[in-house]
Amino acid sequence: MAVEFDQTLDFASDGVPAWLSEQGYAPTLLDGFDFRLPTFTGRSHLLGREVPTVLILNGSHVARVAIVPANRFRIDAERLADSQSSRGNVKVFRRDGVYLVVTFTTNSLSPFLTPPVAAG
């Protein structure tokens, strides 16, 4: 199980843009997420299919960004809606021909996003 876990996710805080390029996506696909936080890249299962995934940790909180090619899933964009459960939230974004399915354990995505630059 430990070997399988190691093969599933790799530590990549400073290498996410290069990893995205290796997966065939624009290195800027996940702009806005704060990769100074501990970040892992790999694959996960979503609706029975394996998809590229980025996992971001902020203390005890987790955000998982599954990258879902629009042509691999039948998704009705008109029916997309944010969702919430007792353990977290789900937001779906469409960007550059893919859906980003973000599951996270906080009330908002703010803890996982790059802080705004203070004007000064």
Please list the pLDDT of the chain residue by residue as tens digits (120 residues): 565 555 566 667 778 999 999 999 999 999 999 998 998 999 988 878 889 999 999 999 999 999 998 777 666 656 555 666 667 888 888 888 898 999 999 989 999 999 886 655
45 belongs to a structural domain: yes
Write down the pLDDT at residue 116: 80
Write the CA distances from 82 to 79, 108, 114, integer angstroms: 10, 11, 21
Q: Is 42 left (phi over 0), alpha (psi -120 to 50) or beta?
A: left
108 belongs to a structural domain: yes
The three-class DSSP label of residue 42 is strand
Q: Read off the pTM.
A: 0.81
Write down the pLDDT at residue 94: 86
Q: How many domains is the chain built from?
A: 1
* Amino acid (one-letter) located at 57: L
Write down the pLDDT at residue 70: 79
| Full domain range(s) for residue 21 | 2-112
32 belongs to a structural domain: yes
Q: Tell me which H or E stretch contains 3.
A: helix 2-8
43 belongs to a structural domain: yes
